[in-house]
């Protein structure tokens, strides 16, 4: 696979939205596509590192203001005249090429990330537990984890900056841990099975809804009319699986006259095809269990 078809270890987002993990070709296209209705692009590393990004803003005179921030430092900026030079700069930053800043004049923008306030030990213990759980689940971005944790513990007088800095420690530890994981994890196999199930006409959703009742009520909302059934696991199932208790999957049909057991058999077939060990006794009222599951879901 060439470098132009391999996704880069970055996440890119533009003013027009649609964040993704681009290839070299895609990154170049997104930068070339900046204009009057789509002025800026922001790039973060993967795995995500808090306060570590590069971004560009296209001016009316077709020059680009390029800014970058790294942990523990102030934001710096420079003006670049040519989009090809911007692309080269972004790629060198992405690959952490020594001296990637070149001989350009970088000047402070005046933005320095705020210093986090101290967290009381008891509050830190509560926050750390929740942050670690959300990170282990693996479905949330860095910002999602911060916001969800603050929403859950809104009784604590802890700032968003302090919560984010505490998460940075946990997040970076997880990124290091990922380096020791197998090339293909059980969660990768699960992802592939769910992709195949969707291709086979089954609505397949992971970490969907807060509970079984809500999931069952909502699963058909955005499903294609051609889907004959569904399978999902909800957020409480995710939490249990990330804690080492296996993963339960709910399944069923949309039409009352259809056989839910047939859907269950199809789900089991696709899961086992990916090498996952499944427990199910072919009863429509019983959920499918993946009991022997190592929950290693990669950071977003």
| pLDDT > 90: percent of the chain | 85
Q: State mean pLDDT over 119-139.
A: 96
**Residue 4: what pLDDT?**
59
Residues 63-74: what's their mean pLDDT?
95
Looking at the predicted structure, is the pLDDT value of residue 1 above 60? Answer: no
SS3 40: strand
C-alpha distance from residue 2 to each of 6, 8, 23, 43, 242 (Å): 6, 12, 10, 22, 35
Residue 193 clears pLDDT 80, i.e. is over it:
yes
What is the reported pLDDT for 5? 72
Mean pLDDT of the region 156-170: 93
- Tens digit of pLDDT for each residue in 57-67? 999 999 999 99
Q: What percent of the chain has pLDDT over 70?
A: 99
Residue spans of alpha helices (H) in the chain: 24-32, 83-94, 121-137, 142-152, 160-178, 186-199, 212-218, 235-242, 260-273
Confidence of residue 3 (pLDDT cuts 50, 70, 90): low
Does the structure show a pLDDT above 80 at 289?
yes
Is 132 or 50 the better-scoring residue by pLDDT? 132
Residue 46 is predicted with a pLDDT of 86
Question: Mean pLDDT, to the nearest integer, of 107-121?
Answer: 93
Q: What is the pLDDT of residue 17?
A: 76
Mean pLDDT of the chain: 94
């Amino acid at each position: 696979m060439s470098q132009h078809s391999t996704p880069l270890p970055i996440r890119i987002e533009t003013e027009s939205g649609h964040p993704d993990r681009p290839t070299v070709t895609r990154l170049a296209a997104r930068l070339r596509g900046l204009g009057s209705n789509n002025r800026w692009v922001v790039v973060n590393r993967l795995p995500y590192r808090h306060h570590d990004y590069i971004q560009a803003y296209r001016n009316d005179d077709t020059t680009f203001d390029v800014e970058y921030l790294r942990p523990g430092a102030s934001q710096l900026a420079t003006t670049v005249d040519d989009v090809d030079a911007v692309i080269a700069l972004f790629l060198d930053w992405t690959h952490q090429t020594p001296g990637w800043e070149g001989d350009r004049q970088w000047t402070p923008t005046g933005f320095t990330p705020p210093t986090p306030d101290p967290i009381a030990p008891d509050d830190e213990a509560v926050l750390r537990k929740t942050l670690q759980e959300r990170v282990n689940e693996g479905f949330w971005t860095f910002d999602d984890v911060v916001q969800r944790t603050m929403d859950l513990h809104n009784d604590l007088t802890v700032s968003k900056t302090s919560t984010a800095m505490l998460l940075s420690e946990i997040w970076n530890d997880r990124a290091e841990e990922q380096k020791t994981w197998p090339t293909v994890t059980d969660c990768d196999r699960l992802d592939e099975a769910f992709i195949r199930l969707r291709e086979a006409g089954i609505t397949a959703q992971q970490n969907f809804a807060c509970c079984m009742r809500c999931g069952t009520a909502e699963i058909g909302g955005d499903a294609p009319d051609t889907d004959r059934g569904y399978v999902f696991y909800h957020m409480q199932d995710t939490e249990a699986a990330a804690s080492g208790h296996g993963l339960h999957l709910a399944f069923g049909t949309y039409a009352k006259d259809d056989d839910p057991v047939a859907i269950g058999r199809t789900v089991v077939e696709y899961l086992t095809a990916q090498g996952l060990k499944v427990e199910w006794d072919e009863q429509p009222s019983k959920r499918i269990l993946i009991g022997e599951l190592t929950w290693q879901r990669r950071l977003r």
